[in-house]
Chain A
């Protein structure tokens, strides 16, 4: 794979203003941030957000959910967890507020030199860096075939459903496979009831030999995907992963 260190930016700490917010699902919100000093990032990277909450200083990481092709602002998409601190604060933050951010960070990066095919496996809020990768490829009209397999409990938990669906209908190089683990009946093409299992995975990625595979989600999801890929004989060197417990 390509060495990205050449193009990586040094993380900068700075103030950024919340210029817009958008509800994605009942527990997830996207914040559009305008940093004082615009900076470059690579698809898949994250920033940290710092705030004083209940008189305590808290720092958390959030993947950038917008493409670096739109440089004047960046977005993060935050799912409120069951026992939230920062994720509640960010889900309730009013437009116009300021946040201290620092970034970009991370090597869970996709770059166009890597290959002409890519497989993205995500669950829950783990969609955020993957959506950025898709958006970047489509925005730049790169000739890269993308296969996104995204797993959520129910349809109303699917983050970015409308935009992902729209892209999959308008871009011939983007395949979107949705897995709804708690829906009994799913009546749409490329949507499945139940989990991503080895058989389904093997079938869906059979055209993606030698493609890099990016996995993002809760630790349990990431580990089970890795296990299935290994059972399918996929070279571990092709696999990149990012996991968090949100």
Chain B
């Protein structure tokens, strides 16, 4: 497998940038959006080291994709949990969640 950690980092940075851009579209980052962004940011730091670890282990392409999909799904579910924590998902939160979901389901996320 020839994937580089730098490619992964760059994909994840793009995801964060896209989320921030979306959150700032109305010029205000609400408390809900802030909580969600912080959760995703923390998860992404962990995700990055997990994926780095996977690159160090002996996986074939298919296995790497399968494992990456599992940890991306964790990230999505954790974000959803934060969004739902006050009983309702606002429109702003929904837009961010959609971006995370799209990313986690992308075949070529990395």
A interface list, Cβ under 8 A from B: 5, 11, 46, 48, 50, 55-61, 102, 105-109, 219, 222, 240-245
Contact = CB atoms under 8 A, between A and B. Distances in A.
B81 A56 contact: yes
B56 A244 contact: yes
Contact of B49 (A48, A56, A245): A245
A240 B67 contact: no
B66 interface: yes
B7 interface: no
B53 A245 contact: yes
B78 interface: yes
Nearest to B81: A55
Contacts of A55: 81
Nearest to A108: B58
A106 B74 contact: no
A105 B59 CA distance: 7
Contacts of A56: 74, 78, 81
Contacts of A108: 57-58
Given A102-B70, A245-B53, 17 more contacts: A46-B57, A48-B70, A50-B74, A55-B81, A56-B74, A56-B78, A57-B78, A57-B81, A58-B74, A60-B50, A61-B57, A105-B63, A107-B59, A108-B57, A219-B56, A241-B58, A245-B49
Contact of A106 (B49, B53, B58): B58
Contacts of B54: 61
B60 interface: yes
Contact of A59 (B58, B63, B71, B81): B71
Nearest to B42: A56
B56 A57 contact: no
